[in-house]
Chain A
Amino acid sequence: MAKENKCLLQYLQICVLLVLTACGGTGANNPNTETGTGTSPEPVFTSTEAARFLTHATFGPRSAEISALRNASPSQWYRQQAALTPSLLSPVVAEFANRAPFRTLWRFSVTFGFWRNTITAQDQLRQRMAFALSELLVVSNSGGEVLRDVPDALAYFEDLLIANAFGNYRDILELVTYSPAMGYFLTYQGNLPADPNTGRMPDENYARELLQLFTIGVIELNTDGTPKLDANGQMVETYSNNDITGLAKVFTGLVLDGDISEDLAEQEFIAAQSFAYSRPMLTIANQHSTDEKTFLGMTIPAATNARQSIGAALDHIFAHANVGPFVGRQIIQRLVSSHPSTHYVERVATAFNQGSYQLPDGSLTGTGRRGDLAATVAAVLFDDEALNLGNDRMGRVREPILRFTHWARAFNVKNVTAEYVTDLYDTSEVTVLGQHPYGAPSVFNFFRPGYKAPGSVTGAQGLTAPELQITNASSIPSYVNFMEFFVTGKQAFTDIDDLQREFDDRQIDLGANQALDSFLPDYSIELNLADSPAALLDHLDLLLTYGTLSTPTRESIIDTLTLIPIATDEERRLRVHTAILMLMTAPDYLVSQ
C-alpha cells in the first residue's frame, strides 16, 4: 500500500483522538465562552419558560431540571452544559463487546447506548445537538451489513458528532469525509478514478449528497434562507451534473486503515473490522484521480493528491454563502420550529457566519471562526422565536423518538437498560415508532427538511413540516400503542420464560428477569395528585407541554379521569396512566408550540 502523507495522517488521527477523548478530561472542545457572568442583566425564566427551553435543548425536561433552571441564569446553564464531559457511544459498544460472547447484543449496542445516553446522561444539550446533526449528516445502519455487523463504525461516526457538537462545521465535514461509516454508507470507500479503457467513472454518490444534503442544497439562498432569484425571477440551481462528475474525482483513493482479510479466523476478522472502522480512512496515491478536478467554479490542478484535493474541495464548498442558512435552518427545525421565520433563519445564519453569539447575559460564545456550532446552537435556543410562544404558523411536530425519551426522563424511569426491552432494539417500523436513532431508510433521513404535507392545512400555506412525512393512519395509532405499553408499565408483566427463550434463541446472554425493572416509570408524584385531576393536569401540563395545554383538551382529560373511580390503588394508577397517555397523544402535545 502506497500511503501518502503519513505524518499528516497521523496528525489528523491525533486530532480526532484529542477531540474524542480529551474533551472529556480537559474540555478542549468546549465553546470558547468568556468566563463568569456577562455584563447585561439577564431575564430569568418562569417555570413554563424553563420547561419550554428545556424541551428544545434536551431529550425532555425533568421536574427537578425545570425547578433548577427557573430563576437561574440560562446563559450559565448553557455554559455548564457545553462544559460537561461528552457521553459517547464507543464505550457502550466496548462494554457489550466484552460482556457478550455472541454478537447479537453487540450489534445492537449503539442503539442501547443511544437510549442510555439521551435519557440519563448529563450532557443533554450536546446529545440533543448531536442527534440533530445525525439527522442532517445521515449515516444509517438500517441496511444491515457492515454498519450493523460492525457497530464500531456507527459509534465512531456518531461520536464525532457528539464530540464536535459545539465544534466547527468545517471540521465536522472533514471528519465525516474520512469516516469509514460515511465512506461505506455513501459508497466512496474504495472509490477508483476513471478508467478510459473500460469507461469506468468515479462513484458520484458522496459528491452529490455532500452538496445537496450536507452543505449547500440545490438552489442559491439568501442569508435568510429564501431562494435567490435571477433576472427572470427564477430560482438558481447551485450546481450542474458536470459539477458532480468533477467533484466525484476528489473522493477517490479513500480506503480503510487496516488489513481485513477474508482469510482471518472469525474472531480476528471481527477485531480487524472493528479496528479499521474506528479510525479515519487512509488515502492511497495510486487509487486517487490524477485528473484535473473542476466543480463549482474551482479547478484543482491535475496530479493533486487526495488529501490536498479533499481539503481544497471542502474549503471551497464550505465557503459557499448557502452553508449558514442551509445548515442553520435545519438545526432550528430539529430543535425548535418546523417553519422558522426568515428573520430567525437570518439571525442563526449570521451567528454561524460570524462564529460567535452574544448570550443573554452579555457574554460571547463561539470562537469567531465561521461555522462555529456553539454560536449557532446558542443562536437557535436563545432566539425570541424559540423563547416565546409564536403565532399559528409556528411550532413543530415532536419526533417520535423525542416523545419517548421525554416520557422516560419526565417520569424518571428505572433501569434504562434497553437490552432487556426487545421493542427498543429497532423502533423504525411504522407499527412501532416509525423512527429509530441512526436508522433512517436512506441518507434523506426519516423526513425531509423541505417536506410540505400534501393535502394539509400547513401544506396549503406552503409551510415546511418535516415530521408530518411520517404521520399517517398507521403511525398515529401505532404510536398510541407503543406509548401505552410503556406508560402503563407493561414491562413489569413481561413473560420471563418467553423472553428467556427468545434471548436464548437469539444467543443473547442476558437473564430475562431483569426485564421486569427496565424502563419502569416512577409515578410517585403523579399518584399523589390522582385525587385531584385538575392538580394532576397542572403538574403534567408543566412537565410535558410547558403550560400550553389548551382548555378543551385539558377539560376532556379531566372529564375522562373523573369517570375513573379512585377507591383502589389500581384505579389510582389507572387515572395516572390515562392522564399521561391522553396528554402525550393529544395534538397539544404532539405539536410543540
Chain B
Amino acid sequence: MIRREFLKTGSAALALASMGGAVTALSAMQAQAADTTGYKALVCVFLFGGMDNYDTIIPYDSTSYQRWAQIRASLVNAQGTTRQRAQLRPLTPSNQNDFGARRFALPPEFSGIHQLFQSGDAAIVGNVGPLIEPTTAAQFEDQTVSLPLRLFSHNDQQSTWMSGATEGAQFGWGGLFSDQQFSAGANSSTTFANITTGGNELFLTGPQTAPYNVTNDGAVLPYVIDNEDLSPSVRDRLVAHFRGEAYGQPSLLGRDLANKMRSAYDANAQYNQAAGTVVLNSAFPESGLGRQLQIVARTIAARHQLGTRRQIFGVSLGGFDTHDNQAASLPALQQQVDAAVVAFHTSMVDLGLNNDVTLFTASDFGRTLALNGDGTDHGWGGHHFVIGGGVNGQRIIGDIPPADFGHALDAGSGRLIPTMAVDQYAAQLGQWYGLNASELVGVFPQLGKFSPVASIFA
C-alpha cells in the first residue's frame, strides 16, 4: 500500500515536470504541504432553498421549547405530534456545559443523524453564514459594518457559500482545495478530483480543477459508437467527432463546447472502465439524494482505479425554500436527508473509510423564526451537520442563538446574524482535507478577521 502511494506521487511529479520542468518548486511545496498521504474525501450536501435552522436544531429545555412552540404555534400544530417535546430527539453533547441550562434536540425525522451524533460520528456546527467581519444586530441596523452582498437572495447566497462572492464568481473553495492538493502531488490528475451529481459546479471549480458531472447511474457515452451497423472506421470517426476534435472556429463559446465535449468523452470512458463494475455491499434509499450518495460511494470505492487520493464531491437536494406548506414539505425532506446520509455513513464504515471521508451540509441560508402563515422566509445564519469518523463528534460547535426576537444576533424576524463565517467552517474542512495554515489563508484571505472557533475535527 505504501509503495503504491509512493509510486503515484512519483508519477505525478513526473507528469508535472514534463509540463513545466517544475520539479524543484513542486518538491518545495510538498515539503510545506500539511498532508497528502492516504485517502481523504469531502462530501458537500447542498440543501438548496435555505434550510430552516429553527426546525433543524430545536430548543429542548422547557423554557426555550415553550417560547419556540409559542412563536411557531401554527406550524407546530400543523405537524401533528411530531414537534411535541416528547417526540423530539434530545441531544446530549459532550460540551453541554457551554450552553448552561439550554438544551437542544433534533426533530424525529433526523433520528438517524441523532444516533450518529450521540455515538460520536457527527457534530453540529451552529450559526454558520457568510460574513465579512464579526457583526451584531446594532451594527447591522446602523450599517456600520461591512456586509456580504445580496443577503437573502437565493442564487447570490448559494454562490457566496460556494465561492465567497455573488453570482458570476468563477472559483469555489472546493476547487481551490483540490488545486492545492494537486499541486502538492496528492492526485496525478484533476479529472476525477472533484465530482458533482449536478448543481455544485461553482463550489468545485478551481483554476486547475473542473468538476466532473456523473449521473446517478454512472457515466453516459453515446450509444451510437456501439452501433454494429456501422463499420469500425466510421465508429472511430464518430468518437473523434464526439470528442470535438474537428472544431477549429475562433468562437469562444464554440471552443468551450468543443473542450467540454472532449473532456466529457474522455472522462466518461475512463470512469466507466474504472467504476463500472463496482458493487457496494450496503443499501441506499431510492430517493434523489440516496441515489446521488450511492454513486458517490461507488466512485469512492473505485478511487484507486480512478487514480485519486483526494476527492471532493457535491450532491444536492432542492425544496428547502419553504415559504409555504412547510409542515408537509420540510419533514419529508429531512427524512430524505437523514436516510441518505445514514446509508452513506454505513457504506463508508463498510468500505473501511469512515475516518477518511467527511460529509457536511451547506445551504443558501437559514430562515426566519417568524412565520408568514404556513411557512418561513429567507434568513441568514443556519446550523449544519458534519459527519464522519474524523469528526469531533457529539459536540455542538459554535452558537445556537435563542429562538426569540430582539437579541443581539437577530437581524429581524429572527433571521440569525452568523457567528461563524462560512470561511471558518470551510477552513476547518480544508485543514482536515490536507491544506496547511498558509494555504488556507490563501484560499480564505479574510480568515484572520475572526476569532478562532472550536475544532470540528478530533
Q: Which of B251, B261, B368 contacts A395 (CB 8 A)?
A: B251
Q: Which residues of chain A in 560-593 are interfacial with respect to chain B, using CB atoms and an 8 Å cutoff? A: 560, 563-564, 574, 578, 581-582, 585-588, 590-591, 593
A73 is an interface residue with CB less than 8 A from chain B = no
B112 within 8 A of A: no
Tell me the nearest residue of chain A to B244, going by C-beta.
A587
Show 5 A/B contacts (Cβ-Cβ < 8 Å), sorted by A: A397-B257, A448-B167, A587-B244, A591-B251, A593-B249
B172 surroundings in chain A (CB, below 8 A): 454
Shortest CB–CB separation between residue B406 and chain A, in angstroms? 11
**B371 touching A454, Cβ below 8 Å:** no
Binding site for B on A (CB under 8 A): 143, 186-187, 190-192, 198-205, 208, 212, 218, 237, 241, 244-245, 338, 392-397, 430-431, 441-442, 444, 448, 450-461, 463-465, 468-469, 471-478, 480-481, 484, 550-553, 555-557, 559-560, 563-564, 574, 578, 581-582, 585-588, 590-591, 593
Are A476 and B215 in contact, CB atoms less than 8 angstroms apart?
no
Q: Is B220 positioned at the interface, with any CB of A under 8 Å from its CB?
A: yes
Interface positions of B from 331 to 379, Cβ below 8 Å from A: 368-373, 375, 377-378
Q: Do B155 and A481 touch (CB < 8 A)? A: no
One of B221, B231, B249 near A587 (C-beta < 8 A)? B249
Instruction: Show the binding face of B for A, using Cβ within 8 Å.
Output: 48-49, 71, 73-74, 149-156, 167-172, 175, 198, 201-202, 205-207, 209-210, 212-215, 217, 219-224, 229-231, 233-234, 237-238, 240-242, 244-261, 263-265, 267-268, 318-319, 321, 323-324, 368-373, 375, 377-378, 405, 412-413
Given A454-B171, A585-B242, A397 contacting B253 (CB threshold 8 A):
yes
Question: Smallest CB-CB separation from A560: which chain B residue?
Answer: B237
Give complex CA distance A203, B368 in Å: 11
Q: Which residues of B contact A553 (CB under 8 A)?
A: 246-248
Contact A477–B240 (Cβ < 8 Å): no
Q: Are B220 and A459 in contact (CB under 8 A)?
A: no
Contact A241–B151 (Cβ < 8 Å): yes
A187 and B233 contacting across the interface, CB-CB below 8 Å: no
Nearest B residue to A186 by beta-carbon distance? B323
Q: Is the CB of B220 within 8 A of A481?
A: yes
Say yes or no: B153 contacts A586, CB within 8 Å. Answer: no
Known: A187-B324, A444-B155, A476-B260. A395 touches B377 (CB 8 A): no
Find chain B residues with CB under 8 A from A468 CB: 253, 256, 260
Interface centre among B169, B170, B372 (most CB of A within 10 A): B372
Known: A203-B377, A484-B223. Is A588-B198 also a contact (CB below 8 A)? no
Pick from B237, B253, B324: contact of A465, CB under 8 Å: B253
A201–B151 touching, CB < 8 Å: no
- Contact call A564/B234, Cβ cutoff below 8 A: yes
Contact between B249 and A203, CB atoms less than 8 A apart? no
For residue A241, which residues in chain B have a CB less than 8 angstroms away from its CB?
151-152, 412
Q: Is the CB of A560 within 8 A of B234?
A: yes
Known: A395-B251, A450-B168, A563-B237. A472 touches B267 (CB 8 A): no
Chain A residue nearest to B206 in the complex (CB): A455
Complex: A202 Cα to B205 Cα, angstroms: 38
Known: A212-B153, A473-B213. 15 other contacts (CB 8 A): A186-B323, A204-B372, A397-B253, A442-B154, A448-B155, A455-B206, A457-B252, A474-B213, A474-B219, A476-B265, A552-B248, A556-B241, A560-B237, A582-B241, A586-B246
Contact of A471 with B257 at beta-carbon distance under 8 Å, contacts A560-B238, A564-B234 already known:
yes
The 7 closest A-B pairs by CB, nearest first: A454-B205, A472-B213, A473-B264, A556-B246, A187-B323, A203-B372, A187-B324
A582 in contact with B263 (CB, 8 Å) = no
Given contacts A472-B201, A476-B264, A588-B247, contact A201 B378 (CB under 8 A): no
Chain A residue numbers with a CB within 8 Å of B321 are 205, 442
B-chain residues with CB within 8 Å of residue A186 when the two chains form the complex: 323
Q: Please, which residues of chain A bring their CB within 8 A of the CB of B261? A: 476, 587
Report the nearest B residue to A193, measured CB to CB. B373
Bound Cα distance from A552 to B234, whole angstroms? 17
Task: Give which listed residue, A452, A473, A476, contacts B214 with CB less than 8 A.
Answer: A473
A456, A457, A477, A550: the one contacting B265 at CB < 8 Å is A477
- Among B156, B234, B265, which residue has the most Cβ atoms of chain A within 10 A? B234
Minimum CB–CB distance for B264 against chain A, Å = 4
CA distance A483 to B48 in the complex (A): 31
Q: Which of A199, A430, A453, A581 has the most CB of B within 10 A?
A: A199
- Contact in complex: A200, B260 (CB < 8 Å): no
For A198, the chain B residues whose CB sits under 8 A away are 71, 73-74, 371
The residue on A at minimum CB distance from B48 is A442
Contact call A473/B267, Cβ cutoff below 8 A? yes
Please tell me if the beta carbons of A199 and B246 are within 8 angstroms of each other in the complex.
no
Contact check, B215 vs A474: say whether CB atoms are below 8 A apart: yes
- A578 — which chain B residues lie within 8 A by C-beta? 230, 234, 238
**In the complex, are the beta carbons of A237 and B168 less than 8 A apart?**
no
- State how many angstroms separate the Cβ of B329 from the closest Cβ of chain A: 9
How far is B240's CA from A454's CA once the two chains are assembled, in angstroms? 25
